[in-house]
Amino acid sequence: MIYFIDEDTSQTSHLRLELELSGNAVKHYKDADTAYEAICELFPNDFLIVDVMLAANPDETKSIYGRAESDDYKTTGLLLLEKLFMKFPNFPKSRVLLISQASILRIIERIQSFCKVYGVVFKGKDEFESNADFGSTVQRMLDNDKEGK
């Protein structure tokens, strides 16, 4: 299962379709709170695609993500991943793709620091030339991981 966690449906629906056309099962969640509650198990061959600037539950009282700790919801995706890694400590970090189209240097530095600590791959959304480019990048990550690279 590929879990695609990104609030921007219009921007990502074609990317999800591309993954499905390649034969993958894809589940989509639009905010960090829903994703965290819904993902009850993560198997080693699952794959996570997480947007960094991710929404949380619009009702702040029901969200487990604070405005301050998520830098005004600019890094909610990183917090979600941290919580998932704690919930599923054996899930391989190589099965995670962080995506973002942030261009604020402060956010990008935070993402890079996160990736360095956890060994997670990050790609800017604008690095992908097309849906096919995105699909083949994910497929390469899935294949590399299968081959133990």
Partner 1 sequence: MTTEWKVSFLEDANRAVHLGLAETTSSLLKSLCTILPIDAALFYSVDPVDNFLILKERHNIKRPEISSIEKQNTSNIATRALSEKQVLEANLLDTRSGLIRSQSERKRGYEKVIAVPIPRKEIIIDEAHKSVCDIFDLPYLGVLCVFLGPNDESDQLVPFFNSITESFAQYYVAAVQREKQRLRKAVVDRTLRVKDLNSFMNKALRVIDDSLHIEGASIFLWDKAQKILRLHATTGIRDSPLMEDVSYTEDEKRITVQVACTGKASITTNILRDHPDTGKYGETVKHQRQSFAAFPILNWGIMEEPINARPLGVVRLVNKCTAIENSETVVSFTWEDLVLLSFFAELVGIVSNYMRRAEQERETFEQVIHGLKSSIDAVAGNLDLFVNHPEFITITDSRFWYRLPDTLAHINDIRWQVRRTLAWYRIHSGPNGGLTNGVNGSVKLTGEVLTKLQVLANQMAVPLNAGSPRIIFSPSYDSFKNLPPIFGNVNDVQNVFRNLIENALKYSKPDESECKIVLNYRINQKFLEVRVTDYGIGIPKGLEDWIFVDGFRCDNAKRRRPGGGSGIGLPYSKDRMQAMNGDLYYERSSDATVFVVKFQRIQ
Residues that bind partner 1 (CB under 8 A): 8, 10-11, 13-15, 17-18, 21, 53, 67-68, 71-72, 101-106, 108, 110, 113, 117, 125-127, 130-132
Cβ neighbours, 10 Å, residue 19: 21
Residue 48 or 100: the one with the smaller Cβ distance to partner 1 is 100
| Closest CB 66 distance from partner 1, rounded Å | 9
Q: How far apart are CA 95 and CA 121, in angstroms?
A: 9
| Closest CB 67 distance from partner 1, rounded Å | 7
E runs forming strands in the chain? 2-5, 26-29, 47-51, 96-100, 121-124
Q: How far apart are CA 1 and CA 17, in angstroms?
A: 14
Residue 74 or 93: the one with the smaller Cβ distance to partner 1 is 74
